[in-house]
Amino acid sequence: MAIRIISGIIGIAMAAFIIQTGGAAFGAAVLLLMMVGWHEYSQAFRHKEMPPAYWSGMAAMICFWAAVYFGRVELLTAVATLASLWLMLQAVLFYRNFSVPQALISVAGVMYVGLSLVHLLLLRFWKASEVISTPAGDMETGCAWLWVALIGTWASDTFAYFSGFMFGKTKLCEPISPKKTREGFYGGVIGTAVSVAAIGYSIGYPIPLMLILGVVIALVATVGDLVESVVKRYTGVKDSGVLIPGHGGVLDRFDSAMFVIPFVYYFLQILEAL
């Protein structure tokens, strides 16, 4: 537990510094997360003796990242399309050693890991030229909203954990995640709604809107956690990796955020269009 707490504190401090710094430091950190996340995904299915196309997937991670980091977001669709087609084609070219299920696992992993994590860049650099006031000082708009998404995710995990620990009786989804309870889930929803509403109010957004956003973030975060859990259960691995002492790997720590970050980004796009 001590190792988990210490590494958690160090991780949060490093994350805060990199997020606030932005620029190349944040870009490099996201690329590292994407590459490590793909490695962990590949290793999980290798454990199942169904390894995906490792190097093709790694190339796709870099291409997703480059398209966004260098401001060519319109190329994301092209990268996703060409990567999917190339991965499926490998089932033909290398049919003796690379099966159709492996090709499908590769496509799913590239989309799951690559497209979700690259939204860290999309959200952090959203409206980079605009600055808003926050309790922590002036921030770029995208930076402030990235904190909304991350704090909402952490609030969901934290409130769900303590609510489940204190009041948990009824299992939420026992075959996939035996420790999750409905009581913990309800506590996570309430805690996240209040947390996100408080943050939203502090940066000038209406409380009712942010309460709704908080509820949906809790729902989406829970789904993200369950998706990672079912992948680990299917592949037979306990943790996706060992990068973070006491916490596991990138996919263990970012499973909920991989769903929340894209959701918040598109929530903002819809809000902007209204």
Residue (of 44, 41, 74, 73) closest to 57 by Cα position = 41
Residue (of 205, 191, 113, 204) closest to 153 by Cα position = 191
What's CA 133's distance to the chain center, in Å?
26
Q: What is the rounded CA–CA span in Å between residue 90 and residue 88?
A: 5
The tokens for 118 are 């690259």
- By the 10 Å C-beta count (0-12 exposed, 13-18 middle, 19+ buried), 174 is classed as exposed
- The confidence score (pLDDT) of residue 7 equals 65
Domain segments of the chain as ranges: 1-125, 131-274
**Cβ proximity of 164 and 179 under 8 Å:** yes
Q: What is the rounded CA–CA span in Å between residue 246 and residue 49?
A: 27
- The confidence score (pLDDT) of residue 274 equals 79
> Which ranges in the chain belong to alpha helices (H)?
2-21, 23-47, 54-69, 76-93, 100-109, 116-124, 141-167, 182-202, 207-235, 250-254, 257-273
- The confidence score (pLDDT) of residue 241 equals 65
- The confidence score (pLDDT) of residue 135 equals 84
Q: For the chain, how big is the Rg over CA atoms in Å? A: 19
Q: pLDDT tens, position by position, for the chain (274 residues)?
A: 556 667 667 778 888 899 999 899 999 999 999 999 999 999 999 999 999 999 999 999 999 999 999 989 999 999 999 999 999 999 999 999 999 999 999 999 999 999 999 999 999 999 888 999 888 888 999 999 999 999 999 999 999 999 998 998 899 988 898 889 999 999 999 999 999 999 999 998 999 999 999 999 999 999 999 999 999 999 998 877 666 655 578 999 999 999 999 999 999 999 988 7
Which pTM value belongs to this model?
Answer: 0.92
